[in-house]
């Protein structure tokens, strides 16, 4: 979760979130999600993630991340 919450690289955040989803994909993990505070952490990440996705610049079929140029 640290990579998802601290990285400025969209691909790294996406990979970290994908890994979290893989780990907690089973319905039996609801208690673990609560114990570890995963849901509030994901809710806190959402505004940053939306900003990162909106910053993508598609030109000629090529996606460029404008945030990494700052």
Residue 68 has pLDDT above 70, yes or no: no
**What backbone torsions phi and psi does residue 9 show, to the nearest 5 degrees?**
-95, 120
CA 48: distance to chain centroid?
Answer: 9
d(CA 6, CA 22): 20
Distance from the Cα of residue 19 to its chain's centroid:
10
Q: What is the pLDDT of residue 6?
A: 78
Helix 38-54 with 10-23: angle, nearest 10 deg: 150
| Site of tokens 């505004």 | 47
Please state the rounded mean pLDDT for residues 49-69: 68
Q: What is the pLDDT of residues 27-52, one digit of tens each?
A: 777 888 889 888 898 899 899 888 88
Mean pLDDT of the chain: 79
Total-model pTM: 0.63
């Amino acid at each position: 979760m640290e990579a998802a919450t601290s990285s400025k690289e969209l691909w790294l955040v996406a990979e970290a979130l994908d890994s979290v989803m893989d780990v907690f994909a089973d319905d039996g993990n609801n208690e673990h999600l609560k114990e570890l505070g995963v849901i509030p952490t994901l809710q806190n990440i959402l505004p940053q993630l939306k900003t990162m996705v909106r910053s993508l610049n598609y030109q000629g079929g090529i996606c460029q991340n404008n945030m990494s140029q700052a």
